[in-house]
Amino acid sequence: MRVFFSKRLVSCECCPRHCKINRLAGELSFCRTGAKAMVAHAGLHYGEEPPISGTTGSGTIFFAGCNLRCAFCQNWQISQRFDKSTVREMNPGDIADEMLRLQEAGAHNINLVSPSHVVWQIADAILLARNQGLNIPVVYNSGGYDSVEALRAITGLIDIYMPDIKYMDNTLAKKFSGAGDYADIVPGVLEEMFRQTGSLETDAEGVAIKGILVRHLVLPGHPENSRKCLGMIASLSPAIPVSLMSQYTPQFRAANHPEINRRINAEEYYELVDYAGSLGFKTLFTQDISSQDHYLPDFEKNSPFEN
């Protein structure tokens, strides 16, 4: 099997951590992922924003491991506490096969969740899948802690970027996610994503075909961080659609941080909705705060792969 991008794993700098380990030789570092990507779940997903899920679902591939250590991680079962017996190690050819299977199942797009630490394997998979007939958009659904250099290297392979911009405060980023340079990195990441794809474009049915959609998960008790994130996005372009997520739940290690060991309340969420509106965003997706549990995944209940 021909690989091109995966050769870069010999001295890995696929994300801002620049670990420079030889993943091709089996060396592991922060993300705990070697030469093969680990896939925790692949199937049709209907819980994304309307332009992504559409009517027939988003062909979602959840990668295990992560280049962040979020204390409140909503996907902690696969990002930080996964058991290798519950995930499938895949080379680019295997990932390409999953992409084609999801397209055959009727997916509107291929939705790559937590791709930052496996960007090179994904890039090779996209090339292989396109050579075999993949013709639906590819969504890069990341936590925003990406390498601008890596994003530039894969220009043309991603149709839709959907980053979750978590912080514009490095103190919070270090405390809650182990990434003390997050706020320095993410503006350049967002600018590069926007440069590559532009504002979100949809088809006649309102399903996304190209562009960027930015998410922000509201943390309890930190409205200023959220305002800074929204302001940074608006400063790039208010034409960028924003999804303001209310689904925060104090899972995993959130109990170690009393200030975020609770759900957000309606008052703090809707204050931020109003603030986002004042920034002039043309498209703003919001969630029903009374239905927070609806948005939470449980990877112990889901089968790893849908037939």
Q: What is the pLDDT of residues 106-119, one digit of tens each?
A: 999 999 999 999 99
Going from N- to C-terminal start, the domains of the chain cover: 16-295
* pLDDT score recorded for residue 77: 83
pTM beyond 0.85, yes or no: yes
pLDDT at residue 291, as a whole number: 59
CA dihedral angle for residue 306, residue 5, residue 118, residue 193, rounded to 10 degrees? -100
For residue 75, what pLDDT is reported? 86
* Per-residue pLDDT tens digits for 252-285: 899 999 999 999 999 999 999 999 999 999 999 9
Cα–Cα–Cα angle for 241, 246, 249, nearest 5°? 140
Nearest to 80 by CA among 92, 89, 69: 69
Per CATH, the number for 16-295 is: 3.20.20.70
**CA–CA dist 282, 259 (Å, integer):** 32
Q: Are 38 and 61 in contact (CB under 8 A)?
A: no
Write out residues in the chain with pLDDT < 50, as ranges.
294-296, 298-299, 301-303, 307
CA-CA distance, 218 to 226, in Å (whole number)? 6
44 contacts 32 by C-beta, under 8 angstroms: no
- Tracing tokens 């959130």 back to the chain, one arrives at 254
Supply the pLDDT for residue 85: 76
**pLDDT value, residue 251:** 86
Q: Which residue's structure tokens are 């939705």?
A: 111
